[in-house]
Amino acid sequence: MRLLTHNGFFDSTNLNEAEEEEDGYVLTASSRLLLKSQIPNLSPFAILSVEPAMLAPWKVLGDWFSRNEESTAFETAHGAPFWEFCDTNSRFNNVFNEGMASDSQMMRFIVKDYGQVFEGLSTLVDVGGGTGMIAKLILEAFPSLKCTVLDLPHVVADKPAGGSSENLRFLGGDMFHSIPSADAIMLKHVMHDWSDEDCVKILKKCREAIIANKNDGVKKAGKVIIIDMVLGAEEDNERDITETKLMFDVLMMVLVTGRERTEKEYERLFIESGFTRHKITPIFGFTSLIEVFP
């Protein structure tokens, strides 16, 4: 408790004013996020971070570095790449999706403070949207928007094809093969999962989807909305934020084939994928909102 208090997760308090000794603890803004009664509730995300399957790769880093036979330490530990492991292990897949869904609850702050990003859109595809948490939050603010959640078949297998409302549908598919056409394509915490080569493939499919989109017979310019970390941004002047981003950078190396990127590194991906301009807006914490235009 003293360590967690030192790190700001709890705060100490004097329960007896007559005594000078501090003998109690209270919640802080950080620890309240783990309360099940709290909205947003990030406890499933915290549980995911200590899931044995997530911890095992850190124990074999030495073997992975020396052997260099597998693409990631996760594959060294489990004998299969991360996404293949999710596909074949239903329990872990559920824990992972619940963790991602809880993290996506933070999207309500983006919709509240940066809702202009979605104004004027008629259709949106949330690529890798999992349980549809993001789409549902966006629809609360923009009920006329038609949202499609695209994810791997095993992720959306138990979701109704028509979704929970007439404006929300779930679609099983592969973003590397095809993305439905729409005014906007959203990629939340997707880009950092993949190598530069794979990111270019994904972005090219996104560009095809928004270029091909038509509304009343008229082609619309469209855009890609990326929500991810950007290394070297202005907020990186804060040591804790920089350290968190760099830890996620290492985490991506351990679990998957991706990494966190600087604006220059993102820009190279956008240009190679055929996009002409982009706009980066730091939002909250260590996250940025990137709009990419063809």
pLDDT higher for 124 or 105? Answer: 124
Q: Are residues 4 and 130 in the same domain?
A: no
Confirm whether 55 is domain-assigned. Answer: no
Among the ranges given (130-139, 211-220, 253-262), the one the predictor scored with the smallest mean pLDDT: 211-220
Confirm whether 92 is domain-assigned. Answer: no
**pLDDT of the residue at 162:** 55
- Alpha carbons 188 and 125: distance in angstroms, whole number: 11
The number of domains in the chain is 2
SS (H, E, C) 186-255: EEECCHHHCCHHHHHHHHHHHHHHHHHCEECCEECCCEEEEEECEECCHHHHCHHHHHHHHHHHHHHHHH
Under DSSP, the state recorded for 165 is: B
- Alpha carbons 123 and 125: distance in angstroms, whole number: 7
Decide if 6 is catalytic: no
Q: Are residues 133 and 218 in the same domain?
A: yes
Instruction: Convert the pLDDT of each residue in 228-275 to its tens digit.
Output: 999 986 655 677 788 889 999 999 999 999 999 999 999 999 999 999
Q: Are residues 145 and 1 in the same domain?
A: no
Which of 154, 177, 189, 192 is labelled catalytic?
A: 192
- Alpha carbons 241 and 44: distance in angstroms, whole number: 22
Confirm whether 135 is domain-assigned. Answer: yes
Q: Note down the domain range covering 150.
A: 106-293
Q: Are residues 142 and 254 in the same domain?
A: yes
Please name the amino acid found at residue 243: E
Q: Are residues 125 and 3 in the same domain?
A: no
CATH number, position 193: 3.40.50.150
What pTM was computed for the model?
Answer: 0.85
- pLDDT-based confidence at residue 21 (cuts at 50, 70, 90): low
Under DSSP, the state recorded for 71 is: S
Q: Are residues 18 and 139 in the same domain?
A: no
Q: Are residues 14 and 152 in the same domain?
A: no
Residues near 67 by beta carbon (within 8 Å), at least 6 away in sequence: 76
Q: What is the mean pLDDT of residues 144-165?
A: 81
- Alpha carbons 54 and 51: distance in angstroms, whole number: 5
- Alpha carbons 137 and 132: distance in angstroms, whole number: 9
Instruction: Convert the pLDDT of each residue in 60-95 to its tens digit.
Output: 999 898 877 789 999 999 999 999 999 899 899 899
Confirm whether 215 is domain-assigned. Answer: yes
**pLDDT of the residue at 211:** 85
How many beta carbons lie within 10 A of that of residue 66, not counting itself?
A: 8
pLDDT beyond 80 at 283? yes
Sole residue written with tokens 């017979």: 217
Confirm whether 93 is domain-assigned. Answer: no
